[in-house]
Amino acid sequence: MDNRHIREWVWFACDCNGVPELAQVIVVEWNRRFTRRLGDGMYSVITMAAKIRLSIPLWPRTSDQDRRETVIHEACHVIVKYRHGPFVRDHGSEWRAAMRNCGVEPLRTHSIDRTGLARPQRRFILHQCPNRGVEHKCRISLREFHLLEKGIEFWCKRCGIHITESSLIGEDRTAVAGRLAVSGR
Residue 108 lies in a domain: no
The answer on 15 and 87 residing in a single domain is: yes
What is the structure's pLDDT at 124?
65
149/184 Cα distance (integer angstroms): 22
The answer on 130 and 92 residing in a single domain is: no
Task: Check whether 173 has a pLDDT greater than 50.
Answer: no
The answer on 131 and 83 residing in a single domain is: no
Query: Which of 68, 101, 134 marks a domain boundary?
Result: 101
Residue 145 lies in a domain: yes
pLDDT digits (tens, 9 = 90+) for 116-170: 776 656 666 666 666 655 555 667 777 777 888 888 887 777 777 777 777 776 6
Query: Which of 40, 68, 101 marks a domain boundary?
Result: 101
What is the structure's pLDDT at 154?
78
Total domain count for the chain?
2
The answer on 94 and 9 residing in a single domain is: yes
Q: List the CATH number of the domain containing 34.
A: 3.30.2010.10
84-106 average pLDDT score: 94
What is the structure's pLDDT at 56?
93
Task: Check whether 78 has a pLDDT greater than 90.
Answer: yes
- Domain encompassing residue 127: 123-170
The answer on 137 and 93 residing in a single domain is: no
The answer on 95 and 130 residing in a single domain is: no
The answer on 153 and 71 residing in a single domain is: no
Tell me the pLDDT band of 19, cut-offs 50, 70 and 90.
Answer: very high
What is the structure's pLDDT at 31?
92
pLDDT digits (tens, 9 = 90+) for 98-128: 999 999 999 877 778 778 776 656 666 666 6
